[in-house]
Amino acid sequence: MSNARATHLSRRGILAAGGALGLGAVLAACGDDDAKSGGSDKETTAAKSGPWSFKDDRGQTAKTDKTPANIVSFIGVAAALHDYGIESKGVFGPTKLKDGKADVQAGDLDISKVTIIGNEWGQFNIEKYAALSPDVLLTTMFDSSGTLWYVPEESKKKILAVGAPTVGISVYDVQLPTPLARMLELAKSLGADTTSSTITAAKKRFEDAAARLRAAAKAKPDIKVLAGSASQDIFYVSGSNLSIDLEYYKALGVNFVEPSAAALKASGGWYENLSWENVDKYGADIIMMDNRTSAIQPADITEGTWKKLPAVKAGQVIARNPEPILSYAKCAPLLEDLAKAIENAKTVS
């Protein structure tokens, strides 16, 4: 996602990489198209009484008189906290598909039990938000200046005026284990039993998956991996810097295709834009494709240049979520899938 991006950067381009800097100029006006009412009457699991505080990655400390029960979260945060037994009453961000099913970013969350405040970029229904009497608003941050992800900049003052403190977890230019640990800390502060056998097992699975990926990359150092995202007119090739997953995979030894600094400059270092005619600019043995609903999925790409790519012809294309759900249970399979792909890959580039 773009950081200090050029002014012509499109909304599609922003969604392609997963983050943004200075969202105020890009976010649409708040609204409630497709917003879903309902919500859960259940209080946050294991919520405890007494003062609560949490220092977020902006260095700001959110404080409430008691542990928050009425939690409103960006959908990915809600999905991660759900894995730790902490439930959100309201969510915003890609939650429900047109067919009514849950978006990939909802994880295992039962979306019928939450109030959807906004389902698309720029949507944030302040009336529904206020009606929940929120105790806290939780989201991630894709830049160094503390921009709250999917909180519309132009309506931010009205959202803050509702009175709930905000918490931002940084997913910008850090490796995956860091925000994973921070999300676990947040869940613990909200009442999660972080010593449970379920969470302990999930964390061990993640650590084992990391060891497997490191071993796979070491055994096949020449296998080149490209991280891409498809739109109607543009194919985005992500650089391995800035993104929490790619930075970590690179640290584990994965050999990524890297666009030049000059090519990345227009997006602040996140990705390079390619026309479909030039999609074969880089040779790759494995292609990781953005699996979010904002991107065209591999099975739906009709461009002949795509179908001719060696990795595509070899069936060496796997899914990637540029916005990983930050629980160990959800991130371990990401490492396992990449490790398996490298283990089984043939050099085709």
Return the percentage of the chain with pLDDT > 90, whole number. 85
Between 191-195, 216-220, 262-266, 302-306, the lowest mean confidence (pLDDT) is in: 262-266
- Give phi and psi for 24, each to the nearest 5: -55, -35
Q: Please report which confidence band the pLDDT of residue 37 belongs to, taking 50, 70 and 90 as the band edges.
A: very low
Residues whose CB falls within 8 Å of the CB of residue 282, separated by 6 or more in sequence, listed in order:
226, 237, 257, 259
Using the predicted structure, report yes or no on whether residue 36 has a pLDDT greater than 50: no
pLDDT the model gives residue 25: 30
33 closest CA partner among 125, 151, 158:
125
Q: Is the pLDDT of residue 331 over 90?
A: yes
pLDDT, position 187: 98
Question: Residue 50's pLDDT band (boundaries 50, 70, 90)?
Answer: confident
In this predicted structure, what is the pLDDT of residue 3? 33
Mean per-residue pLDDT for 304-310? 97
Q: What is the 3-state secondary structure (H, E, C) of 296-340?
A: CCHHHCCCHHHHCCHHHHCCCEEEECCCCCCCHHHHHHHHHHHHH
Least confident range of 129-138, 264-273, 340-349: 264-273
What pLDDT does 30 receive?
Answer: 35
Contact at 8 Å (CB) between 58 and 149?
A: no
35-60 average pLDDT score: 64
pLDDT at 33 over 90: no
Mean pLDDT of 132-148: 96
**Residue 18 pLDDT greater than 70, yes or no:** no
State mean pLDDT over 302-321: 97
pLDDT tens per residue across span 76-102: 999 999 999 999 999 999 999 999 999
Tokens of 200: 């302990």
Q: Answer whether residue 148 shows pLDDT above 90.
A: yes
25, with CB counted inside 10 A (0-12, 13-18, 19+), is: exposed
For the segment 245-295, what is each residue's pLDDT rounded down to a tens digit? Answer: 999 999 999 999 999 999 999 888 999 999 999 999 999 999 999 999 999
- 87 contacts: CB under 8 Å, gap ≥ 6: 40, 42, 44, 45, 71, 78, 81, 113
Average confidence score pLDDT of the chain: 89
Checking if the pLDDT of 20 tops 90, the result is: no
| Average pLDDT of span 294-300 | 96
Handedness of CA 71, 56, 325, 105 (dihedral sign): positive
Token reading at 170: 């940084």
- At 191, list the tokens: 């009442």
| Averaged pLDDT, 127-138 | 98
- Gap between the Cα atoms of 24 and 143, Å rounded: 13
As to burial, measured by CB atoms within 10 angstroms (0-12 exposed, 13-18 middle, 19+ buried), residue 169 is: buried
Per residue in 200-252, pLDDT (tens digit) is: 999 999 999 999 999 999 999 999 999 999 999 999 999 999 999 999 999 99
Helix intervals (H) in 119-227: 126-131, 156-161, 177-189, 197-219
pLDDT at residue 109 in the model: 97
Length of the chain: 349
pLDDT category at 48 given cuts 50, 70, 90 is: low
Is residue 135 within 8 Å of residue 70, measured between CB atoms?
yes
- pLDDT for the residue 11: 39
The answer for residues whose C-beta is within 8 angstroms of residue 70's C-beta and 6 or more apart is 89, 90, 132, 133, 134, 135, 136
Predicted confidence at residue 24, as pLDDT, reads: 32
Q: Which of 244, 132, 137, 248 is nearest to 186 (CA)?
A: 137
Which pLDDT score, from 0 to 100, does residue 266 have? Answer: 86
